[in-house]
Amino acid sequence: MGEAMSVDGPEARLLVLGIGNVLLRDDGVGIRVLRALEREFESDARLRFVDGGTIGFMLAAIIERTPELLVIDAARMTEAPGSVRCFEDSAMDRFLRGRSSSVHEIGLRDLLDMARLTGSSPRRRALIGVEPAAIEIGDGLSSEVEQGATVAVRMAGALIRSWLDDSAR
């Protein structure tokens, strides 16, 4: 399964990073989607799956070592619970700049800014966000977000295949 926040590990060209806290209901959607993608792509050495939990500074070193980054997370997008959107490259940057704060120790925007400062920002990046319904202590996703997680797995799988196909040409 996905590794914890270890800086050591196999080099891969595409980092799939699930973010969230599985003890806070819908906040765990990023981890749920990550686990499904791990099963789908388990034998592809070009991919690295990391459970980013609630984000920490150690992730900066992992992000800086990958040319492509796909993040899956619960995201407040002012849409209906369970809605799924994909923000790629500059759209991801704009979305993250528009977020006022993160409930996590350090935000994704902060990590990407650190990578930019060191000149090691992923050349290709995307965020697949799922609008949460319930961020509260509890087990399992709400029914809306459960449906959104299924959509997010399909969306992320298609994006991963597309990026891998692009680089094979």
pTM, 2 dp: 0.85
What is the Cα–Cα distance from 31 to 26, expressed in whole angstroms?
10
What average pLDDT does the chain have? 85
In terms of Cβ atoms closer than 10 Å to its own Cβ (0-12, 13-18, 19+), residue 101 is exposed
Tell me the pLDDT of the chain (169 aa) as tens digits.
Answer: 444 444 444 568 899 999 999 999 999 999 999 999 999 999 899 999 999 886 677 787 788 888 999 999 999 998 999 999 999 998 998 888 876 444 444 577 777 777 677 776 788 999 999 999 998 999 899 999 999 999 999 999 999 999 998 876 6
Q: What is the sign of the dihedral through the CA atoms of 39, 45, 46 and 49?
A: positive
Beta-bridged to residue 68, according to DSSP, are 14, 124
**What is the C-alpha separation between 34 and 155, in angstroms, rounded?**
12
Rounded to whole angstroms, the Cα distance separating 113 from 23 reads: 28
DSSP for residue 89: T
Domains of the chain: 14-168 (3.40.50.1450)
Q: Which residue matches tokens 């939990």?
A: 53
**pLDDT for residue 99:** 61
